[in-house]
């Protein structure tokens, strides 16, 4: 993504950077550019008063007043995720100098807000720049966590484990998000320590503008990224791993002024090529036959394939996700779609990865309005649907942080709610929001609107049968009742394969209520909130780590005399 981890959030740190990045793309495209072609949408095309109505009814809440007969409907399924950025302290922690107590409090507050919105997945940035927000023998602690690279939290705690445990306790998945190649962000303030790859193996890292970048052509760089990801998979109970769109770096131009990171693009400023001459020279000297651009793409392709196979070899149930830049390669684009080419500039052959099934879910960053002709959201979504040859999950990224951002390019709330409806009209099955800040701040009432409408009811993450088709055992469910007290329902996983969640339907006043709970022995009391005068039956199923659902267990509640 174009600076996903330095978006112009509150405070709007990098607004000017997006404008100049857009200028780079327009200046370098051979086929022209009428709108900023990078991540940030523009206001050059006016938004319609309302977005097009979906072709079919979207996923909706299941209210308690729904009439029922016998068994409840199937559990609602939709991936509802949000990126939580740590780089530059965009989302968490809010500052690099926070105490451990305040860091932990922010974790709980963030997750409570996500849970109140009925989100079911957090995509947490755990490796911003070849560093870590967890204890690692491979890379140093991130300065965005403690204010200085290499400094551990004091008193010590493990932030990643805290995030995982707290998310799971609320019925949400936790996916670990890694920047695959960035070694130093332009906002970094403290020096790299000896554990950092730029110090340990400087030949694998190149300076590019005000950033440091791991050279994808250096085997040591790819090995490092893969080792870091597999280390997290081995040691932590993550539900997924995730990489973004930072492959080869977004291009910068020559003659950059102080402080602009080389991004002041004009038509007469040539792009600076990535300085990978040593690795390219070794490839050619070794008899390599690919051209330089194809060689670069092959370097990235190889790592993507290794990540997919390596993660599933370690833990077959851990999902692998990629969030590439949202525009197709130029020769495949639908009519009217224009803009930056990740295929030619980032050397990212995203279509290949999706076609080959080297992902479990694919989240292209479709960060433009539905009515912006050159990058129209529904047109791009339809294109990526045609590329899903392997039958994987397609859950697009939405530019939710554009809501209420106080610029001319701000989205109205209806843009995001409308894009959710568009995904549902196409039965896509999910969305990922960038980023948590907009939702936490309830910008322009967005979170309130989502909670009352699109996300009014909890939902399970869609199943991934290509990973595992075996159903888990039915859960054990028992009921007890005491006079004048709500009935107690005890839930316990069945024997056999591990399960992650209980999907619970409770009959209430002639309707059904749905909720998701962690699959551990627990007790619930339907009707204890006082909102149900006549509790009826409870229907429970177990959900395994890839979303398979068990047979249902049904119990009848003994009503109070």
Confidence class for position 255, pLDDT limits 50, 70, 90: low
Domain ranges of the chain: 4-452, 476-556
Provide the terminal-to-terminal Cα distance of the chain, rounded to the nearest Å: 60
Q: Are 4-452 and 476-556 the same fold in CATH?
A: no
Higher pLDDT, 426 or 484: 426
| pLDDT at 27 > cutoff 70 | no
Contact predicate 369/326, CB 8 Å: no
Q: Which of 429, 347, 344, 322 is nearest to 385 (CA)?
A: 429
| pLDDT at 370 > cutoff 90 | yes
- Pairwise CA distance, residues 188 & 242, whole Å: 23
The 10s digit of each residue's pLDDT in 54-70 is: 332 334 333 333 434 58
Cα separation values, 105 from 112, 159, 166, 170, 431, Å: 11, 12, 11, 15, 27
Task: Specify the CATH architecture of the domain 4-452.
Answer: Alpha-Beta Barrel (3.20)
CATH number given to 476-556: 2.60.40.10
pLDDT at 483: 65
| pLDDT at 374 > cutoff 80 | yes
Contact predicate 478/513, CB 8 Å: no
> Angle, nearest 10°, between helix axes 413-425 and 377-386?
30
Residue linked to tokens 């890839």: 546
The 10s digit of each residue's pLDDT in 289-330 is: 999 999 999 999 999 999 999 999 999 999 999 999 999 999
Sorted by sequence, the CB contacts under 8 Å of residue 304 that are 6+ apart come out as 243, 322, 353, 358
The 10s digit of each residue's pLDDT in 121-153 is: 999 999 999 999 999 999 999 999 999 999 999
| pLDDT at 555 > cutoff 70 | yes
State pTM to two decimals.
0.88
Q: Compute the mean pLDDT over every residue in the chain, rounded to the nearest whole number.
A: 87
Confidence class for position 484, pLDDT limits 50, 70, 90: low
- Pairwise CA distance, residues 245 & 231, whole Å: 21
The 10s digit of each residue's pLDDT in 86-132 is: 999 999 999 999 999 999 999 999 999 999 999 999 999 999 999 99
- Which DSSP helix (H) or strand (E) runs through 123? strand 121-127
């Amino acid at each position: 993504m174009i600076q996903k981890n330095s978006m112009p959030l509150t405070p709007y740190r990098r607004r000017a950077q997006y404008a100049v990045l857009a200028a780079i793309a327009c200046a370098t495209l051979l086929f022209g550019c009428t709108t900023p072609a990078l991540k940030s949408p523009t206001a050059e095309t006016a938004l319609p008063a309302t977005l097009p109505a979906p072709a079919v009814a979207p996923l909706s809440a299941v209210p308690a007043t729904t009439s029922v007969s016998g068994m409840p409907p199937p559990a609602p399924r939709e991936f509802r995720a949000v990126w939580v950025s740590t780089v530059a302290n965009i989302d968490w922690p809010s500052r690099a100098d926070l105490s451990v107590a305040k860091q932990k409090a922010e974790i709980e507050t963030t997750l409570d807000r996500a849970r109140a919105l009925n989100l079911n997945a957090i995509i947490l940035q755990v490796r911003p720049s070849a560093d870590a927000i967890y204890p690692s023998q491979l890379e140093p602690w991130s300065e965005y966590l403690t204010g200085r690279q290499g400094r551990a939290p004091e008193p010590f705690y493990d932030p990643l484990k805290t995030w995982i445990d707290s998310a799971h306790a609320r019925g949400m998945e936790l996916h670990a998000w890694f920047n695959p190649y960035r070694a130093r962000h332009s906002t970094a303030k403290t020096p790299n320590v000896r554990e950092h790859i730029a110090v340990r193996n400087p030949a694998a890292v190149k300076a590019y503008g005000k950033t440091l970048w791991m050279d994808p052509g250096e085997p040591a760089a790819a090995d490092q990224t893969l080792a870091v990801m597999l280390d997290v998979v081995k040691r932590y109970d993550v539900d997924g791993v995730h990489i973004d769109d930072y492959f080869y770096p977004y291009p910068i131009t020559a003659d950059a002024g102080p402080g602009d990171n080389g991004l002041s693009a004009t038509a007469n400023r040539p792009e600076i090529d990535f300085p990978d001459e040593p690795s390219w020279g070794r490839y050619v000297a070794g008899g390599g036959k690919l051209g330089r651009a194809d060689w670069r793409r092959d370097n990235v392709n190889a790592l993507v394939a290794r990540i997919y196979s390596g993660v599933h070899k370690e833990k077959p149930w851990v999902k692998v996700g990629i969030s590439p830049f949202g525009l197709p390669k130029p020769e495949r684009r639908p009519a009217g779609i224009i803009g930056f080419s990740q295929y030619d500039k980032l050397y990212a052959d995203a279509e290949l990865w999706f076609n080959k099934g080297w992902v479990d879910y694919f989240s292209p960053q479709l960060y433009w309005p539905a009515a912006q002709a050159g990058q129209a959201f529904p047109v791009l979504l339809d294109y990526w649907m045609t590329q899903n040859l392997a039958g994987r999950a397609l859950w697009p990224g939405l530019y939710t942080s554009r809501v209420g951002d106080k610029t001319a390019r701000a989205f109205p709330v209806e843009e995001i709610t409308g894009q959710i409806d568009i995904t549902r009209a196409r039965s896509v099955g999910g969305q990922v929001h960038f980023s948590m800040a907009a939702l936490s701040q309830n910008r322009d009432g967005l979170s309130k609107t989502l909670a009352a409408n699109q996300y009014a009811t909890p939902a399970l993450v869609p199943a991934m049968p290509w990973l595992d088709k075996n159903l888990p055992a039915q859960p054990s469910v028992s009921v007890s009742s005491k006079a004048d007290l709500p009935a107690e329902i005890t839930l316990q996983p069945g024997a056999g394969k591990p399960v992650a969640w209980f999907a619970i339907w409770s009959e209430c006043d002639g309707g059904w209520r749905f909720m998701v709970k962690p699959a551990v022995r627990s007790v619930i009391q339907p009707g204890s909130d006082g909102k149900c005068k006549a509790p009826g039956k409870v229907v429970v199923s177990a959900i395994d780590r890839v979303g398979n659902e068990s047979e249902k267990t049904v119990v009848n509640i003994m009503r109070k005399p």
